[in-house]
Amino acid sequence: MNNLLVAQSGGPTAAINATLSGVLHGVRASGKIDQVFGAKNGIEGVIKDHLINLNDILMDTGALDLLTCTPSSILGTCRYKLKECHQDEETYHKIITTLKKYEIKFFIYIGGNDSMDTVHKLSEYCIENNHDIKIMGAPKTIDNDLHMTDHSPGFGSAAKYIASTIKELACDIGAYDIPAVTIVEIMGRNAGWLTASAVLSRMNGGAGVDLIYLCEKEFDYKRFIHDVREKLSQKSGILIAVSEGIRDGSGAYVSDTISSGTVDIFGHKYIAGAARALEQLVRTEIGCKVRSIELSLMQRSASHLASETDIMEAMMLGQKALACALDGETGKMSVIKRISNKPYRVEFDSVPVHQVANKEKTVPIDWITPDDHDVTSDMIDYLLPLIQGEINLKYQNGIPRQFSL
């Protein structure tokens, strides 16, 4: 049997189900796959033999369309760090046992940086132990920090949501004639791409965001207060966007002053709270009205503001990953290569996943203005094509319909 397994991993996005939909559309078009299975909760589902038959979805065009526009990971997700095979041979044995039980010849893992590490380790294990199973990665991350791809599915939709929300907030705070500061915290531990997208709130007229601080540059508290005072001297209400991962000169997260210091399974510190920390600082140093807003999970689940470009590219990357697997490729990730900005043109390719795993793509320093509180036109040119278009959501009882298994 030529059976296919697909799984989703890492933080959910508005586009990760579109990638799954792209894989399933590719299966229908190829006619080369007998059965399609989904692993419940990523690689953990493979280890535990929690697989779901997805063939019924293949036969339902309406279900596929609904799946494409549904946020989050309908197969469930996980944050599981696969150890090296010599450290945990038993887990690799469980994975291979499940794959052989269901006669899996092709495995597509949709996820971000840590997921691509799993693709790399598992594909190498299969090659070394003569298991004829082709394993491909399909990218996903709103942080846009994956190497070797121009951008990642999920980022464009999150950027569109951020730009739109910041623009609406600017309208709100602009209605008052009293000194006020609003600080918006945006996801991004080491890569400030999402925070940079706040600059698009200035499109189509209106003030938009006033100050932008990315985690790529050292955060200076004194300079920040100076910047805020200067902006308040020019207008009554100002709007600031900050990356959740901003750090001071000592390397400490700004959020450390109010966070617990706990870490996740990968050793990453929980860092939410930068905006709240800066809210306290502004209240102490300036004394004006100030509030902090953390966009949090809304950034990655707002399918009502999804970018059509993002959704269509997510589908194409799923199809590309499947096509590569059917062509005998393994240990690779499907990627986007940008050919031009105007007009916007891309092509889809694949790269060895070891060039992606455990690496981070950050914002080029020369795309940040010398004053460290804004971004350049190069960033705008990069971002604009990725937020274009709107998807045609299906509504019922006044709210969007969503796919569920």
Q: Which residues are catalytic?
A: 143
Residue 284 exposed, middle or buried by CB count within 10 Å (0-12, 13-18, 19+): exposed
Q: Is 189 annotated as a binding residue?
A: yes
User: Which amino acid, 394?
Assistant: K
128, burial (CB in 10 Å: exposed 0-12, middle 13-18, buried 19+): exposed
Q: With contact defined as beta carbons under 8 Å apart, do 221 and 282 qualify?
A: no
Burial class (CB in 10 A: 0-12, 13-18, 19+), 132: exposed
In angstroms, the CA 307 to CA 309 distance is 5
Angstrom distance (rounded) from CA 45 to CA 314: 23
Residues 6+ apart with CB under 8 A from 95: 43, 46, 47, 122
**Annotated binding residue at 244?**
yes
C-alpha distances in Å from residue 29, one per residue of 54, 56, 229, 332, 376: 16, 16, 59, 22, 43
Cβ-proximal residues to 44 (8 Å cutoff; 6+ apart), any chain: 50, 78, 80
Query: Is 257 annotated for ligand binding?
Result: no
CA nearest 129: which of 91, 93, 84, 90? 93
Instruction: Check whether 187 is labelled as a binding-site residue.
Output: yes
Q: 331: annotated binding-site residue?
A: no
Give the E-state strand segments of 251-340 in sequence order.
Answer: 289-294, 332-340
| Residue 283, annotated as binding a ligand | no
Q: Is 49 exposed, middle or buried (0-12, 13-18, 19+ CB in 10 A)?
A: middle
What is d(CA 244, CA 159) in angstroms, rounded to the nearest whole number?
15
How close are the terminal C-alpha atoms of the chain, in Å? Answer: 25
The verdict on whether residue 49 carries a ligand-binding annotation is no
Dihedral sign from CA coordinates of 299, 75, 103, 59 = negative
Work out the burial of residue 263: count CB atoms within 10 Å of its CB; fewer than 13 is exposed, 13-18 middle, 19 or more buried.
exposed
Residue 290 contacts residue 180 (beta carbons within 8 Å): yes
Binding positions are 11, 113, 141-143, 187-189, 244
Binding positions for Mg(2+) are 113
Binding positions for substrate are 141-143, 187-189, 244
